[in-house]
Amino acid sequence: MLPVPKKFFITAAAAEGESKLNAFDNALLKAGIGNVNLIRVSSILPPGAEFDPELVIPPGSLVPTAYGYIISDKPGEIIAAAVGIGFSNDTFGVIMEFSGRCSRQEAEAEIEKMIREAFATRNMPLADMKIAAVEHRVEKIGCAFAAVPLWY
């Protein structure tokens, strides 16, 4: 059985690269998680998980992460990525991810809408939310990335 993560943070960053993979990697580095191995997970924040914005994860670690990203090679195009966490007072939270060819403000609005719907669907009261988003104007090959890494 896998352990349940106890800590998390929220991050968003954008970067350019000479290839699509390098743009993605450079965005991960700017987001503070470029030297770990992301394991993409769906969108539930474990009950009692503690927000730790200064969390340092050892290089090479396997890190459960909810994330969204977009890569574009169209110079001048605006791209954005966002993640958000909806918190309940007494149980688990819900993480939502979004990316698109839009502004940061549009990405944030989509995240807020999705969080509100997720809580309404679960018939849970929404106590609070955190959102991280980034917008990027592509120069050559750009990536916008947003994530919630979970840790132990």
Residue 2 belongs to some domain of the structure: no
**pLDDT reading at 86 higher than 90:** yes
Catalytic residue chosen out of the listed positions 19, 35, 37, 77: 37
pLDDT category of residue 12 using cuts at 50, 70 and 90: very high
Q: Would you say residue 27 lies in a domain?
A: yes
Confidence band, pLDDT 50/70/90 cuts, at residue 148: very high
Say what the alpha-carbon torsion angle 141, 96, 147, 100 is, to the nearest 10 degrees. Answer: 10
Q: State the total domains in the chain.
A: 1
- Catalytic site includes residue 97: yes
Q: Is 37 a catalytic residue?
A: yes
Question: Residue 5: inside a domain, yes or no?
Answer: no
Q: Which is the catalytic residue, given 43, 72, 108, 135?
A: 43
CATH of the domain at 119: 3.50.20.10
Which pLDDT belongs to residue 2?
A: 83
Could you report the per-residue pLDDT of 29-43, keeping only the tens digit for each?
999 999 999 999 999
Q: Is residue 4 part of a domain?
A: no
Q: How much of the chain is helix, strand and coil, in % rounded to 5? A: 20, 45, 40
Average pLDDT over residues 58-74: 98
pLDDT at 99 over 90: yes
Predicted pLDDT at 1: 81
For residue 132, is it within any domain?
A: yes
Q: What is the pTM for the complete model shown?
A: 0.96
- Compute the mean pLDDT over every residue in the chain, rounded to the nearest whole number: 97
Check whether 132 has a pLDDT greater than 90: yes
Sorted by sequence, the CB contacts under 8 Å of residue 109 that are 6+ apart come out as: none
Dihedral angle sign, alpha carbons of residues 18, 21, 22, 23: positive
Catalytic-role residue among 97, 108, 110, 135: 97
Is 98 part of a structural domain of the chain?
Answer: yes
* 76 φψ region: left (φ > 0), alpha (ψ -120 to 50), beta (else): left
Question: Is residue 89 annotated as part of the catalytic site, yes or no?
Answer: no
Q: Hey, how many other C-beta atoms are within 10 angstroms of the C-beta on 137?
A: 12
For residue 123, tell me if it sits in a domain. yes
Containing structural domain, residue 66: 10-151
The verdict on residue 1 lying in a domain is no
| Residue 43 falls in the annotated catalytic set | yes
